[in-house]
Structure 1
Amino acid sequence: MGLFDNAVPGGNITKPLMIALGALLVGKMLSGRSEEQPAEAQAPAPTPAGTSAEGGLLDRLRDAGHGGVADSWVGTGQNRPINANDLGSALGPAVIREIAQRTGMNEQELLQQLSTALPGVVDKLTPNGQVPPQHQVTSAFNS
């Protein structure tokens, strides 16, 4: 897994959590960009229902009033935490429900794990304080 070894406390990302992160980050949700994703990508990457290219993960967090938190993950300073309920509100119930179904996790457990993992994972994906092109995010989940 390499890139994500130290992304979350304890350094262990379970397979269901990788599926959830893949759905959020590889599924054109990190920045809302609409770059094409390589057809051979192995991570589950379809954009969850109810989202669009304009509804990237960071954009959704900003729109929900958590822009400072999201920007701290991308920036080079300390990553600020996000509450599981705040993350769920920002993503919306349809997205959470779909990802929970894909992972086999219950929604509250999913949100708890995502709220713990996302700050470190987004930070690792944005080492220079900038959102990478979609193909780099995709390759990070396939390595």
Structure 2
Amino acid sequence: MGLLDQLAGQVIGSLGAQKQDPVSQSDLLSGVMGLINNAGGLQGILQQLQSSGIADQVASWVGTGENQPVSGNQITDALGAENITQIAQHAGIEPDHAATGLAQLLPQIIDKLTPDGQVPENALLEQGMNLLRGKLFG
């Protein structure tokens, strides 16, 4: 089993552990992947999050230690209410629930996409995101 298979399994497993509807979970994951792509990749979303006032939390997600939590309100402030509303509409849930779900997912996904506390090169990350997308969404 390769690293990307493990990543997909871990993300899916963590989604299954949450108390949300499975359909909205995959939609939230799809929303996270869209946010990363629209922000200019992993480096772009990291910069966006760091500049919004949660730089310490983001550093913990990239680093090798325990991930510091963030709130749904912090995620809404960082990513913009419009983005959260679009993801919520796609997932068929309220924006507050989407923000809370993203606050749980983003740290896990960023942690898994930054092995050994390093942001991978864009080409490798792009391949990983495409493979993850294919495994999760057919």
> TM-score under structure 2 normalisation?
0.73
* 1:69–1:81 contact (8 Å) kept in structure 2: yes
Query: In structure 1, how many angstroms separate the alpha carbons of the residues matched to 2:126 and 2:76?
Result: 23
Answering whether residue 8 of structure 2 is matched by residue 16 of structure 1, we say no
> Which residue in the other structure is 2:73 paired with?
85
Distance 1:8 1:121, change over 3 A: farther
Instruction: Say what the alpha-carbon RMSD is for the aligned residues.
Output: 2.6
Query: In structure 2, how many angstroms separate the alpha carbons of the residues matched to 1:109 and 1:137?
Result: 24
Query: In structure 2, how many angstroms separate the alpha carbons of the residues matched to 1:21 and 1:61?
Result: 17
Answering whether residue 88 of structure 2 is matched by residue 100 of structure 1, we say yes
Cα drift, residue 131 of structure 1: 2.9
In the alignment, residue 92 of structure 2 is paired with which amino acid? G
Cα drift, residue 17 of structure 1: 2.3
SS at match of 1:99: helix
Distance 1:119 1:9, change over 3 A: farther
Cα drift, residue 142 of structure 1: 2.3
Distance 1:23 1:135, change over 3 A: farther
Distance 1:57 1:86, change over 3 A: same
> Which residue in the other structure is 2:128 paired with?
136
Query: In structure 2, how many angstroms separate the alpha carbons of the residues matched to 1:91 and 1:79?
Result: 19
Answering whether residue 44 of structure 2 is matched by residue 61 of structure 1, we say no
Match of 1:71 among 59, 64, 67: 59
> Which residue in the other structure is 1:124 paired with?
112
Identity of paired residues, percent? 30
Q: Flag the structure with more relative contact order, 1 or 2, with Cα contacts below 8 A and sequence separation at least 6.
A: 1
* 1:8–1:120 contact (8 Å) kept in structure 2: no
Distance 1:28 1:138, change over 3 A: farther
> Which residue in the other structure is 1:40 paired with?
none
Which runs of 5 or more residues in structure 2 are unaligned?
1-7
Which runs of 5 or more residues in structure 1 are unaligned?
31-46
> TM-score under structure 1 normalisation?
0.71
